[in-house]
């Protein structure tokens, strides 16, 4: 079992990723830190608690992080995730458990003041990570792994022709992390996450296997389905963040290459991931860029956990489903 801290901006796919990670037997989620991204940070905190309630894990501490990017003005993705950041699902929080007093960046900087067999799984803009790094330069050396959902190598962007939201929202934070974290940045970008389409077929299957979970997933993803149909004429929704969880658990689910990588912070291509695969800049690789994914293996792992069903059942049923 791997111990991990999840930094996120819940967010519909973050919510699915958090549930997947918390319920997985392979991960021990020590804490959740929230950053402004899909929704303003206080809405993100509320949504993190909604997931913890659903998983009956209100023992996991939640830390409130950055309200805005390092330099850019904050732009949310509430057009995609709903004003409540939860698909306007009307799913409400019942508990009154409070967020921790310590800020996310202070918690992360202090926690990694010494070497830990604990990794960070970053599912949103990297503002909290960059702030923690600025106060603790050993942050990267003291963590076990750093996996980030973000960026894109060859796939088109989702905020501009070349930029993916997490790095477009806070490009300065992404640049600081890639250039100074001093540990391999494992980038789960749009090149692989675009293969992960939570389709109406899969939603219907979830409902057949577990009606309650199916109802929850239907409420949570309806708004996301509508967005994807309206803007990409896609039936279903791309669930980016759960793939980062699956990759953290089973790195063999994706393949890629190591390369020096940084992020553009100005101009029309702001937020673009600059992947120097052919080493023009003669710099040591600082990132692992993932290019391919075993989609069936992802859905087998993801649905086995989310539906609390036998893996063999899910694996054989998935042969019947037209994935993607």
Positions in the binding site for Ca ion (CB under 5 A):
9, 11, 14, 123-124, 241
Contacts of 282 (CB under 8 A, 6+ apart): none
146 is a site residue for ligand RIB (CB under 6 A): no
Choose among ligand RIB, Ca ion, none what residue 172 binds, the Cβ cut-off being 5 to 8 Å by kind.
none
Choose which of 164, 172, 191, 264 interacts with ligand RIB (CB under 6 A): 164
Q: Does 186 bind ligand RIB (CB under 6 A)?
A: no
**Selected binder of ligand RIB within 127, 166, 213, 300 (CB under 6 A):** 166
Signed CA dihedral, 111, 115, 119, 125: sign only: positive
Q: How far is the CB of 134 from ligand RIB (least distance, A)?
A: 22
Q: Binding pattern to ligand RIB, positions 112-141, x when CB under 6 A?
A: -----------xx-----------------
Shortest CB 70 distance to Ca ion, Å: 18
Confirm if 47 and 11 have CB atoms less than 8 A apart. yes
Tell whether the torsion through CA atoms of 217, 4, 247 and 187 is positive or negative: positive
Closest to ligand RIB by CB, 27 vs 149, is 149
Cβ proximity to ligand RIB: between 11 and 119 the closer is: 11
Interface positions, 230-259, toward ligand RIB (CB under 6 A): 240-241
Is 158 a binder of ligand RIB (CB under 6 A)?
yes
| Shortest spacing between CB 14 and ligand RIB, in angstroms | 5
Q: Which is nearer to Ca ion, 158 or 213 (CB)?
A: 158
Q: What distance in Å separates the CA atoms of residue 320 and residue 99, rounded to the nearest whole number?
A: 43
Contact 129, 7 (CB under 8 A): yes
Q: State the Cα–Cα distance between residues 125 and 248, nearest whole angstrom.
A: 18
Nearest to 14 by CA among 148, 164, 212, 162: 148
- Residue whose CB is less far from Ca ion, 238 or 306: 238
Burial of 37-76, coded b for 16+ CB within 10 Å and e otherwise, reads bbbbbebbbbbbbbbbbbeeeeebbbbbbbebbbebebbb
- Hey, what's the torsion of the CAs at 139, 142, 144, 148, to 10 degrees? 10
Residues in 34-63 that interact with ligand RIB by CB under 6 A: 37-38
Handedness of CA 138, 139, 140, 142 (dihedral sign): positive
Residues in contact with ligand RIB by CB under 6 A are 9, 11, 13-14, 37-38, 77, 123-124, 149, 158, 164-166, 240-241
């Amino acid at each position: 079992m791997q111990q991990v801290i999840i930094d996120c901006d819940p967010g519909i796919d973050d919510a699915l990723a958090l549930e997947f990670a918390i319920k997985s037997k392979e991960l021990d989620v020590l804490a959740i830190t929230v950053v402004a991204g899909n929704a303003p940070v206080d809405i993100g905190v509320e949504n993190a608690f909604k997931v913890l309630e659903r998983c009956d894990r209100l023992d996991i501490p939640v830390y409130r992080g950055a309200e805005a990017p390092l330099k850019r003005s904050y732009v949310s993705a509430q057009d995609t995730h709903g004003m409540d950041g939860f698909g306007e699902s009307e799913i409400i929080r019942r508990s009154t458990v409070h967020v921790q007093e310590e800020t996310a960046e202070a918690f992360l900087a202090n926690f990694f003041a010494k070497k830990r067999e604990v990794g960070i799984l970053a599912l949103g803009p990297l503002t909290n990570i960059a702030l923690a790094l600025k106060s603790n330069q050993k942050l990267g050396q003291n963590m076990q792994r750093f996996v980030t959902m973000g960026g894109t190598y060859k796939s088109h962007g989702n905020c501009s022709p070349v930029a993916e939201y997490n790095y477009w929202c806070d490009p300065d934070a992404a640049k600081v992390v890639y250039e100074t974290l001093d540990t391999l940045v494992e980038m789960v970008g749009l090149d692989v996450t675009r293969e992960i389409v939570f389709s109406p077929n899969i939603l219907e299957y979830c409902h057949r296997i577990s009606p309650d979970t199916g109802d929850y997933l239907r409420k949570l993803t309806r708004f996301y389905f509508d967005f994807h149909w309206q803007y990409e004429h896609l039936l279903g929704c791309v669930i980016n963040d759960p793939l980062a969880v699956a990759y953290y658990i089973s790195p063999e689910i994706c393949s890629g290459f190591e390369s020096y990588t940084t992020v553009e912070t100005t101009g029309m291509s702001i937020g673009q991931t600059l992947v120097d695969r052919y080493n023009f800049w003669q710099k040591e690789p600082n990132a692992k860029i993932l290019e391919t994914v075993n989609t069936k293996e992802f859905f087998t792992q993801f649905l086995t956990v989310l539906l609390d069903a036998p893996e063999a059942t899910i694996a054989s049923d998935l042969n019947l489903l037209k994935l993607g």
